[in-house]
């Protein structure tokens, strides 16, 4: 993604998971999309190959890996995207509301995996309107309104402000 202004320089692996199927080609199989998405993320084919079985096991859709993605449900696409993102050892994981899709058990597995990865030093940039998910994953939060920074600090304090002001219609989240 190109910023609307400014620039960003990094020397770490940033893995964005910004929506169901982002980075996927619906005409390709699940297996082919694992390699495509990994390649887009800058991961070598040999590294993807080494992690492929872990990715498939995490996604729990192994019997559909040769099926074209256009035949996958949103939940299956979310499973595959999360499996790739969480198994390619990102330094920074950017997650948008993708966890709103899929079954409860899989969402819980993803949350637990992200917690473990954060404990091991991964940075998580988690974009959400779900106070419960933010509380469970984040120690720090920022509150944005109309693209402007309103608050930045302890997640519980920022969430209190969000719920008290935006929950009453004071601002637009």
pLDDT by residue for the chain (173 residues), tens only, comes to 677 888 888 888 888 877 666 789 999 999 999 999 999 888 899 999 999 999 999 999 999 999 999 999 988 998 898 899 889 888 998 888 766 666 888 888 888 898 899 889 999 888 888 888 888 888 999 998 888 999 999 999 999 999 998 765 555 44
Looking at residue 166, what is its pLDDT?
Answer: 74
pLDDT attached to residue 173: 46
**pLDDT attached to residue 130:** 82
> 123 with 93: CB under 8 angstroms?
yes
Residues contacting residue 36 through CB under 8 Å, at least 6 positions apart: 23, 24, 25, 28
d(CA 40, CA 25): 12
CA end-to-end distance (rounded Å), the chain: 22
How far, in Å, CA of 28 to CA of 26, rounded?
6
Inter-residue contact 97 to 129 (CB < 8 Å)? yes
DSSP H or E stretch at residue 113: helix 104-119
């Amino acid at each position: 993604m190109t910023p609307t202004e400014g620039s960003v320089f990094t020397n770490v692996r940033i893995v964005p998971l910004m929506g169901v199927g982002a980075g996927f080609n619906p005409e390709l199989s699940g297996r082919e999309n694992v390699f495509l998405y990994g390649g887009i993320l800058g991961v070598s084919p040999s590294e993807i190959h080494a992690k492929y079985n872990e990715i498939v096991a995490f996604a729990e859709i192994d019997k559909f890996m040769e099926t074209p993605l256009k035949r996958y449900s949103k939940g299956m696409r979310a499973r595959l995207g999360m499996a790739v993102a969480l198994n390619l050892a990102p330094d920074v994981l950017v997650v948008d509301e993708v966890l709103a899709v899929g079954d409860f058990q899989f969402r819980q597995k993803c949350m637990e995996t992200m917690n473990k990865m954060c404990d091991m030093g991964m940075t998580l940039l988690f974009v959400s309107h779900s106070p419960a998910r933010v509380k469970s994953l984040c120690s720090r939060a920022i509150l944005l309104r109309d693209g402007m920074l309103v608050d930045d600090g302890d997640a519980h304090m920022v969430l209190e402000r969000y719920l008290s002001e935006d929950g009453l219609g004071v601002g637009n989240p």
